[in-house]
Amino acid sequence: MKRSLCLLLLPVFFLVGGCAPKQVRVYEALPESRSQIIEYAITLMGKPYKSAAKGPDAFDCSGLVYYVYKRFNVALPYTTEELDRVGVEISRADVLAGDLVFFKIKRAYHMGMMLNGHEFIHASKSRGVAIDKLDLPYWQRSLLRFRRVL
């Protein structure tokens, strides 16, 4: 009896007691190309921001998207304004990992790639390539739309 109880509780111990670093949650049933694109974008975290930079050593927001998609043979325009005209506009309820998110902050446009329904990766002027939560008030105030290019 004790042995079967221990075997039953062992998986719970590993699930609750794990001390692995926080993982970014990506939709589980993604097509391989979306998953690879997001996984690669995450490897660029911490790269510095530089205006008009298209990588690989530094990025601006559209340069990050351009660089990551180009690596997977997806040809996209470079500027945020041009990227805001490709693909199709989608609702937040339909967002998948790899979809583009657009913001208007003061008079400037900004963008990133969605990792899941709540987080996105982008090139931040203050932190370089970073992940942020879409639900933060700063981003909610500036949110314009989502676009699907895959």
Q: From the candidates 6, 19, 61, 118, which is the catalytic residue?
A: 61
Give the span between the Cα atoms of 109 and 66, in whole angstroms: 15
Look at residue 36 in the predicted model and tell me its pLDDT.
94
**Which string of DSSP letters, residue by residue, matches 46-72?**
TPPB-TT-BSSS-B-HHHHHHHHHHHT
Residue 95 CB partners (closer than 8 Å, separation 6+)? 101, 114, 117, 146
Look at residue 130 in the predicted model and tell me its pLDDT.
98
Q: From the candidates 6, 19, 118, 122, which is the catalytic residue?
A: 122
Q: How many residues belong to the chain? A: 150
122 annotated active-site:
yes
Whether the pTM exceeds 0.75: the reply is: yes
Look at residue 32 in the predicted model and tell me its pLDDT.
77
Look at residue 78 in the predicted model and tell me its pLDDT.
92
61 annotated active-site:
yes
* In the chain, % of residues over pLDDT 90: 76
pLDDT for residue 25 is more than 80: no
pLDDT for residue 22 is more than 50: no
86-96 tens-digit pLDDT:
999 999 999 99
Q: Enumerate domains of the chain plus CATH numbers.
A: 23-148 (3.90.1720.10)
